[in-house]
Amino acid sequence: MNEKIWTRRGFITSLSRTALVLSMEDVLKLAAHAQQPATQPVPQIGARPEYTAKARGAKMLPSPVTGTPLGFSFIDVAKESGLNAKTIYGGQHKNRYLLETTGCGVAFYDFDHDDWLDLFLVNGTTLEGFPKGQEPISRLFKNNRDGTFTDITAKSGMTRSGWGQGCCVGDYDNDGLDDLFVSYYGQNILYKNHGDGTFTDVTAKAGLTQSRLRWNSGCAFLDYDKDGHLDLFVANYIDFDIKTAPLPEAAGCAYKGMQVACGPPGLDGGKNILYHNNGDGTFTDVSQKSGMWETIGTYGLSVTVADLDNDGWPDIYVANDSTAATYYQNQKDGTFKDVAVESGIAYSPDGKPQAGMGVSVGDFNRDGLLDIVKTNFAGDTDSLYLNLGDGTFEDHTYLSGLGINTRYLGWGVGFLDVDNDGWLDIFISNGHVYPEVDGSHLDAPYAEHKYLYRNLRNGQFEEVTDQAGSGITTAVPARGCAFGDYNNDGTMDAVVNCVNAPPQLLRNEATIQRNWIKVRLVGTKSNRTAVGARITVTAQTTSQEKSGVGKQPLRQIEEVRSGGSYYSQNDLRIHFGLDQAVKADLVEIVWPSGSRDALKDLAANHLYVIEEGGKILKSMPMGAAVAVEKKV
């Protein structure tokens, strides 16, 4: 018997060295066969594929961070901040259908452009429903600029109820106000923003009415053809109808011997949707002709958009449940091609499908390339993919230190610099999918604490969950989470939407003061929200870590992004930690239109609102800099 162990990328690469000519379908089938044992069991309906690889002890590289104080702590201040709206989603102790398990997203959404982050919390419902007038609805909270929020939902006109899923933000009509899209099991909704806390449902007017029942999931605005108008991508989970869906007792659906809701294995997957913006306030469905349906994986949940291959065009990555992830590479002609397998970001390190939930992108090793972190089901690790810069990625889950955790089930996730040292850390919200696990003897509860990984600046991470404060260690049934500086103190905070529980608002309290800079972009030739713009910040910082004192270059990249995490929307202002640097020596912007701007010597601890063309519309000191505002 041949004992050679194949990797999926190695197998596909080997084909290129032979004269064998195969179709891509044949290649994929052979690659799958090369990874599977002779007898591969078919996944039972109601159970995700289990990933049993053991954490491999990676050799730790020297790090200037190891042994240093953490420098921050997260505290849940939701109650005292006025976030008292409980999210309702499915049965609290038992679920009959998978529909009751996915939960909702959340948005840090500055709807009035005052540069104080407001909040939008997606809500759900139950199978039993509610009396008319008492249905749960999503909630909009206005930031009072003093650490508290006011519920303005009644005024806003956001009265829609139902099985809410995800949300994303973007100025679809280029009127200078960011609009809000909310996905549903059922009909989605597009809210046009009037800037004063009121919104109008323009779904039908915009051409977004759906002709059939869909389980819409993650969403993102993007300008995929770079015409200056934001298009819209909406992932789809399962082709699901309660009237015909199997009940667990009838179908024998089980998780570790426990009767649970059926799916997704055994159910038909949904088809992802791409809407093209016509430039007149309406959209056209271009899903099929653009290649959205030509994918290996299905069961789409979360989505992120980023220029993953550095060619200047936005690509789409989708975290799929119980199957291969999807990487839609932009072909620059209005079409996309799924190259997840060839790129090495479709499967686990062992070539197995994973149950992906949330996804985030960021340049964690500061090499100028965007990497990917993806959360997965319980019994598996989360995934970290390192961008190699040649169109491929390597799985660095174990090499980075993320492979130590397999117990909890991850949902919302983000690359963010929690301590302002200029290196991206990883924040993951967890919660089990089946409420039935409570009261059982399984090793994972329904409410779970989060994971926080500190970047060691050497390609590896250190889990610091236990040191990161009660906001991280308190167990909650988390789903979507979003990241942003809601109190404008210069540190990144988080908001978490939970299932059948109040939300969490996690305030980041710094104990070590470091500098930072924020940038909000306003497009002119490009879309007004500047979605897809890439910002590069270069600074010089004096490091006094164990490695010694000296000037060290600090160069970071990030893009303006709609949607992400799990079903959620982060702050559209881009935050860069500067460590001890007192200024950003150079801020470079590449706009979706292709135009470029460069601004020099921008003082730290300020927000800069920059218009395409290089004009600074606003310079706003924040945090410790408030007392020393400089006019620009």
Residue 268's CB is within 10 A of a number of other CB atoms, namely 12
Once rounded to an integer, what is the mean pLDDT over residues 395-424?
96
Would the pLDDT of 43 be above 60?
Answer: no
Confidence class for position 333, pLDDT limits 50, 70, 90? very high
83-107 as b/e, with b when 16 or more CB fall inside 10 Å? bebebbbbbbeebbbbbbbbbbbbb
The CATH number of the domain covering residues in 517-621: 2.60.40
Once rounded to an integer, what is the mean pLDDT over residues 547-557?
72
In the chain, residues under CATH classification 2.60.40 are 517-621
Would the pLDDT of 614 be above 50?
Answer: yes
Lowest mean pLDDT among 59-63, 463-467, 500-504: 59-63
3-class SS at 9? helix
Would the pLDDT of 255 be above 60?
Answer: yes
Would the pLDDT of 38 be above 60?
Answer: no
Percent of the chain's residues with pLDDT above 70: 87
pLDDT tens readout for residues 572-613: 999 999 999 999 999 999 999 999 999 999 999 999 999 999
Lowest mean pLDDT among 254-263, 359-368, 502-511: 254-263
- Average pLDDT score over the chain: 89
At residue 26, the pLDDT reads: 38
Would the pLDDT of 57 be above 60?
Answer: no
At residue 543, the pLDDT reads: 56
Give the pairing of strands 139-143 and 149-151: antiparallel
- Considering only the top CATH level, what class is 75-510? mainly beta
Would the pLDDT of 238 be above 80?
Answer: yes
Distance CA 78, CA 82 (A): 6
At residue 41, the pLDDT reads: 36
How is residue 531 written in tokens? 């979605």
How is residue 184 written in tokens? 């549903």
Once rounded to an integer, what is the mean pLDDT over residues 559-571?
98
Confidence class for position 624, pLDDT limits 50, 70, 90? low
Q: What is the helix (H) or strand (E) element at residue 185, kind and residue range?
A: strand 179-185
Would the pLDDT of 46 be above 80?
Answer: no
Contact 344, 8 (CB under 8 A): yes
Would the pLDDT of 19 be above 50?
Answer: no
In the chain, residues under CATH classification 2.130.10.10 are 75-510
Q: Across the chain, which distance is largest between two alpha carbons, in Å?
A: 74
562-583 as b/e, with b when 16 or more CB fall inside 10 Å? bbbbbbbbbbbbbbbbbbbbeb
How is residue 265 written in tokens? 């294995």
Confidence class for position 551, pLDDT limits 50, 70, 90? low
At residue 59, the pLDDT reads: 58
Instruction: Report the range out of 54-63, 527-536, 619-628 with the highest average pLDDT.
Output: 527-536
Once rounded to an integer, what is the mean pLDDT over residues 497-507?
98
Would the pLDDT of 629 be above 90?
Answer: no
How is residue 628 written in tokens? 């020393």
Lowest mean pLDDT among 188-192, 342-346, 349-353, 457-461: 349-353
pLDDT tens readout for residues 455-489: 999 999 999 999 999 999 999 999 999 999 999 99
**CA nearest to 414, candidates 569, 234, 572, 235:** 569
At residue 530, the pLDDT reads: 98
At residue 48, the pLDDT reads: 63
Lowest mean pLDDT among 395-404, 512-521, 544-553: 544-553
Burial classification of residue 449, based on how many CB atoms lie within 10 Å of its CB (0-12 exposed, 13-18 middle, 19 or more buried) = buried
**CA nearest to 591, candidates 538, 537, 522, 519:** 522
Q: What is the 3-state secondary structure (H, E, C) of 117-164?
A: CCEEECCCCCCCCCCCCCCCCCEEEEECCCCCEEECHHHHCCCCCCEE
